[in-house]
Structure 1
Amino acid sequence: MEPAAGSAAVALTGVHKTYGTTRAVDGVSLTVERGEFFGLLGPNGAGKTTLVEIMEGQRRADSGTVAVLGESPWPRNTALLPRLGVQTQSSSFFVRLTAREHLATMAALYRCDAAAAERALASVGLTEQGGTRVDDLSGGQRQRLAIASALVHDPELIFLDEPTAALDPQARRALWQVLRDLKRAGRTIVYTTHHLDEAEALCDRVAIMVAGKVAALDSPGRLIAASSPTTRLLVPADRLSVARARAIPGVDRVTEEGGSVVLETLTSGPVLAAVDGIAGLQGVQTRTASLEDVYLALTGAQAPAQPQPQGQDWPPA
């Protein structure tokens, strides 16, 4: 395939990939600009992994044009590999080495200078754990080490596959800061996740894939702004009955959820004023649309399952 023109980090045009009768990637066209933090979202089986593997040069597209940093990644482009950093969910480590030794080994494979390992440790906040054996690191620290391994040779383009999967909330939030630092440093990142709040907070743009196609592509803010304008008001159930809520002018729908009466409205100001007059506003929560709402509307499915910590294999960071 001929590489696409332009200065984009990734440029895909009409990319298809079929396995038997399954269209894993069905005519995908998109670009990832240099310096962009680009999220790839979608339910399992939507084609995300296949598409990323095509970008990385691990799989060949059946048709379409694929350009990565101005070059075709297939046939396996060995000249392109040093310019890419890849972190996968099943990242492998030299577990009997220390974190610093592991990264020094990775740096040597890329013929990097001796200080590369130390820079990579610092970039993910692992300098103090540099002398700790890899198999003694916590789950959150291993995830940071996986990212450091993808960064040690200073690549131009980084692929991150579920970097916060299987982490407890504390470790996940700590890793968010690492990802924000990468974004601030201007790294070009292609990122897959099932954590929609994470994508909303971190990504410049996201593509939501459904059945091998891109169903939506824009910034999280613009996708949310274009979605439902409905506001949801959550009022403690002991302060407002469902019947009384339904009688408030401007309320379109009322449900009960987890000890709250939920009022859906397009005119939140007058409805809030009415709720204040009936029950007061103490404990009342206001929720507008989120990226999760956009995702649910496009996929017609439940929100993606959130990975759970895996016992001793994933202790808190």
Structure 2
Amino acid sequence: MRETRLHPRELVLPMFVREGATQPQPIGSMPGVLQHDDASFRRALTDAAEAGIGGVMLFGVPTSKDARGSGADDPDGVLNAAARTAAAEVGDALVVQTDLCLDEFTDHGHCGVLDSRGAVDNDATLERYAAMALAQADAGAAVLGLSGMMDGQVEAVRTALDEAGHTTTALLAYSGKYASAFYGPFREAVDSSLQGDRRSYQLDPGNAREGLREAELDIAEGADVVMVKPAGSYLDVLAATAAVSPVPVWAYQVSGEYAMIEAAAAHGWIDRRRAVTESLTAIRRAGADAVLTYYATEVAGWLR
């Protein structure tokens, strides 16, 4: 009689790969989540494939950064190398996805390059995104996660990919990405160098209609999937987007959502397994066709 069910294929696992690591590094604010070294990364990929989840979303943690995020489109950079590994190891079993944003690679921590005033230069950033897209597609990524929230990013990346012959590489547009407090633990996970905040290009948490408008714009530019992020606090935006979107709608259960469940469960205040399952069911019930969640492999094991 249940209207909404979870299935492993609807879950995508975000993963962090640390350049030069000789052993996995625990992330203090996200118990159970790691910055992977090569060996633990390969093991986690195999575990994810055997669990039957839908895919993995890869994030790189480089050893060096600069103002333009040069490591982002370096073919041998940490993220592109991780994409090649994932494609080779589990590309037949999982959809390999890569984060297309500069924030992990810039020394100022913003999602784009800065102008002379220290503000993010939208159009100059689009050129960097196009270069990143080509590097990631060449490395074997099947889906590129455009999380930077620059105006026109979908069209710029789609044009660059098509001109280079990557016509089947799919674009996941982070359309309703809000300037949220719930990203805090993620910044530890990627060793963020952020100075200031991202409210000039991420969405205001009070604006529901703007999130829907951003999704419509991204779809018009050629997005194959649109995203709402965070998931749990923006179920209204998710439901409204799902009601009108002609393309799949995904949602990201972000680091802060994960951390809150883990902290409450560690104190014995909630039933961990029930809370995890209920939170993901709510996201699916609101209209998400797939969910990015740090619980993906574990939950898939429960479901199987």
Both structures adopt the same fold (TM-score exceeding 0.5): no
Larger Cα Rg: Structure 1 or Structure 2? Answer: 1
- Which is richer in helix? 2
Structure number with higher strand proportion:
1
Query: Scaled by the length of structure 1, what TM-score is found?
Result: 0.29
TM-score of the superposition, structure 2-length normalised?
Answer: 0.29
